Amino acid sequence: MTRPRAAVRMPGPAFDRVVDVAGMRRLESATAPEIDLMRRAGSALAVAIHGRVGPLRGRVIVALVGPGDNGGDALIMARTLTRMGASVICWASRARSADPLVDAARAAGARWRIWSDDARPLARDIRTADCVVDGLLGIGSTPPLRGQVAEMLRALPEVPGQVRLAIDVPSGVDGDTGQADPNAFRATGTLATGPIKLGTVLHPGIEYAGAVEALDIGLGPEIAASGAARIIDAATVRGLVPARPLDGHKGTFGRVLIVGGSAAYRGAPALAALAAQGGGAGMVTVASVESAVGACAAVAPAATFRVLPANADGCIGASLDAIEALGEPTALVVGPGLSRSASSDALARDLAVDTRRGVPTVVDADGLNALADEPARLAMLGPNAILTPHPGEMRRLLDLAETPRGADMMYATRELAALSGAVVIGKGSPTFVAAGDQLHLLARPNPALAAAGSGDVLAGAVAALAAQGLAPIDAARLGVWLHARAGSLAANGRAAGIAVENIARQLARALVETSVRDTTA
């Protein structure tokens, strides 16, 4: 079956939150009696399904009904859809004895079936359905699948073009970790009752969830006060795009200084420079060894350049004083292509913690590795630092036993932000952005970004936004979004073979596009 690329879609900023299972339980207990929430959820689900499948009269909808609250939501949804004109068939994993929700659905006209060892009746109904809704298991279940639910899911035939929707999380997917049974329900979309559940934005759960939409079930201000993570998408970052006054000049839009490059890695600062220009910086200066400066000039001729002395290893041999003599940038990037040597490591650490500047400073690549070797420096960083570790760099910075993935990367991003006082961009799929008590995440899997040099582009983009006056946390949020969007534009439907410099060149288009309209491409 052809399925859309996973993406998170939100109806509005009130529903841009992501919660774990415990957080959702707290929200539910603080809001309303369970049956009231189920009624709200069932009604919201019916309206959302109507929006997905169109006019309901004559449509066949199969609801897969489990024994718990998720099944209760599905039954209220089934009753409502039947009243709206749909032909609804409820398939239960087992009997729900003396259940008034079953009675109400049947009284409205929904047909009631209970799973048995013969898979053929279920398969026949699935093949006739316009839409299949998974209400078998709720957020509290964990893989592997067992019993009747496992049997039912194995019995589902694939039907090309059929709308398949999961309630909250696809059955067989862990609501916290995203771990999935191989036979988990494969949805074209997931309808979250209230905020989005964490497991549907982590791998592999996101691959089963399809496009995720959050539905209003009346949780209201409790969501905003819950401390839940917030989604990064076009709607949540559009207001951050820096203004471009008509009488502006190059000084209006800030100067980015990039300190990086070496004889071994000459292209990395060029990628950061291209990205800083695409991100709107008025001036970009690259300070590096002569061989890297020559490479940068060929790729980003509009930048200016400062040649720094090289040591015997071809790395930058300059001190902090030499960088300060270059003037005052409005944002700094340290690390792309820097390589490791005693002198370049010392320079990176000194620039990262140089409190005299008060300049937003993006620390990337070997700048991060230099900090990892002297962890006491992390506590000296503060709110003007923006760290951009991938999972391997995160492991080194926090001295973790294993490379963090998924939810562990989220927790590590928060931990590093707390330890350093900095903004931290935990790169990967998803990408996390943490600062203080804030946590944001971008859930847009994009293999086009999985290439050497992609991180240099992100560092330059974030620095450009900070140079234009955005607070470091806002520069990080918008930069992460623009980087992902530019990757999609450069890929143009492909997953591999994308020249990283083309991602940098698409940043300007992504910036303009984000400022004027939403996109889910």
User: Is residue 265 located within the same domain as residue 319?
Assistant: yes
Give residue 29's pLDDT: 81
Q: Residues 23, 228: contact at Cβ < 8 Å?
A: yes
Check residue 378 and report its DSSP letter: G
The model's confidence at residue 306, banded by pLDDT at 50, 70 and 90, is very high
What residue numbers bound the domain in which 159 lies? 8-231
In a domain, 486, yes or no: yes
User: Is residue 17 located within the same domain as residue 66?
Assistant: yes
Residue 227 has pLDDT above 70, yes or no: no
Cα–Cα distance between 413 and 405 in angstroms, integer? 11
Give residue 26's pLDDT: 85
Give the DSSP letter string of 115-172: --S--HHHHHHHHH-SEEEEESS-TT--SSP-HHHHHHHHHPPP-TT-EEEEESS-TT
Give residue 137's pLDDT: 96
Give residue 221's pLDDT: 67
Residue 354 has pLDDT above 90, yes or no: no
The model's confidence at residue 3, banded by pLDDT at 50, 70 and 90, is very low
Nearest partner of 312 among 264, 350, 269, judged by Cα: 264
Q: Which two tokens stand for residue 151?
A: 């049997």
- Mean pLDDT, rounded, for 31-60: 91
- Mean pLDDT, rounded, for 190-208: 95
Element (H, E) at 364: none
In a domain, 17, yes or no: yes
- Mean pLDDT, rounded, for 256-272: 96
The model's confidence at residue 149, banded by pLDDT at 50, 70 and 90, is very high
Return the sign of the alpha-carbon dihedral for residues 263, 266, 272, 277.
positive
In a domain, 236, yes or no: no
Give residue 4's pLDDT: 34
In a domain, 246, yes or no: no
Look at the chain and report how many structural domains it folds into: 2
- Per-residue pLDDT tens digits for 463-505: 999 999 999 999 999 999 999 999 999 998 877 778 999 999 9
- Per-residue pLDDT tens digits for 359-379: 999 999 999 999 999 999 999
CATH classification of the domain holding 307: 3.40.1190.20
User: Is residue 165 located within the same domain as residue 259?
Assistant: no
State CA 251 to chain mean position distance. Answer: 33
- Mean pLDDT, rounded, for 51-77: 95
CATH classification of the domain holding 128: 3.40.50.10260
The model's confidence at residue 311, banded by pLDDT at 50, 70 and 90, is very high
Residue 397 has pLDDT above 70, yes or no: yes
In a domain, 2, yes or no: no
